[in-house]
Amino acid sequence: MSDKEKLFKEIKSIVIEWCEENETYFKNNNINIDVLRNEKDGFVVSFDNDTAMAELVVEQASYAPYRFVSFEIATVEADRAKISYSWYDNESTSKKELKEQLTRGINYFVNL
């Protein structure tokens, strides 16, 4: 297993752990969470409430503006979906920063 594959596996585990740690927060804030994919090569979760939808993706994408993690929130404005928040990791994103950014994003989602 290459270093990149080991790092991907570790990042994926951190994101899954973050989701599990925040289950009560999601429930208390009326956020529905649905794990769309949890496989060796990726993890995808959707969040929704009465205001917006969000998607958290962990994958080894070849052509993407992120290293492994994408977090996007979409709202509807004038009957059109609009990305109102996005965060993507990069080569310098620390494990601590990853959790902080996911928390920042979900807090933004709650406060829409």
**What is residue 90's predicted lDDT score, i.e. its pLDDT?**
94
Q: Is the predicted pLDDT of residue 73 greater than 90, yes or no?
A: yes
The pTM is what?
A: 0.94
Q: Return d(Cα 46, Cα 34) in angstroms, integer.
A: 5
Q: Is the predicted pLDDT of residue 64 greater than 90, yes or no?
A: no
Give the tens place of pLDDT for each residue, 21-61. 999 999 999 999 999 999 999 999 999 999 999 999 999 97
Strands 32-39 and 69-77: unpaired
Give the tens place of pLDDT for each residue, 11-27. 999 999 999 999 999 99
